[in-house]
Amino acid sequence: NRGTIGGSITHADASAELPAVAVVTGAELVLRSTRGDRIVAADDFFDGYFTTTLEPDEVLTSVRFPTAAPGTGVSVHEMARRHGDFAMVAAMAQVTLRDGSCDDVRLALVNVSDRPYRALDAEAVLRGSPPTDDAIAEAAQVATRDIEPVSDLHASSAYRTTVAKTLLRRALNDAITNARGA
């Protein structure tokens, strides 16, 4: 299993889920070479399509996923042509609630950019506020306003953007529901 997780992360396919999971959870990647170990935040690891900050003499030896804080919920929603295919678009949300407000929010989109897309501006919309329907809708709008997914034989850029907005709203709603039950 470690080889599959590490292999998917270092392969850096923008349509793969595991790189985005590493980004949305705040994972740390331990890279080893003859010079020693170096730890890189998943946010800083991906450079673009199939490219990372991994040096030619380095290998990924472990992935450290942090323990979620109490009151944290997560959710992943994706759209694929067939079950088991890479996602045409996916949305991931991790939300920590404290006293009825979003204490921490981490959002990522898959296959809308050349790397896992972290929706930092959308996170800021929700952080520190109650997770109302209007706030969730605004966050989804903000998350997708600047993306320019590629068009290919599976979907147009406009379709991917529309689906990303819908999936992010669903992922946020489910993550909030899960956080309330945590």
DSSP reduced 3-state for 35: coil
C-alpha 83/C-alpha 4 separation (Å) is 19
Q: Could you read off the pLDDT of 121-176 as tens digits, one per residue? A: 999 999 999 999 999 999 999 999 999 999 998 899 999 999 999 999 999 999 99
* Structure token digits, residue 45: 């690891």
**Phi, psi of 150, deg, nearest 5:** -75, 155
Q: Could you read off the pLDDT of 82-109 as tens digits, one per residue? A: 888 888 999 999 999 999 999 999 999 9
* Cβ atoms of residues 133 and 108 within 8 Å: no
pTM strictly above 0.85: yes
* Structure token digits, residue 76: 């992943």
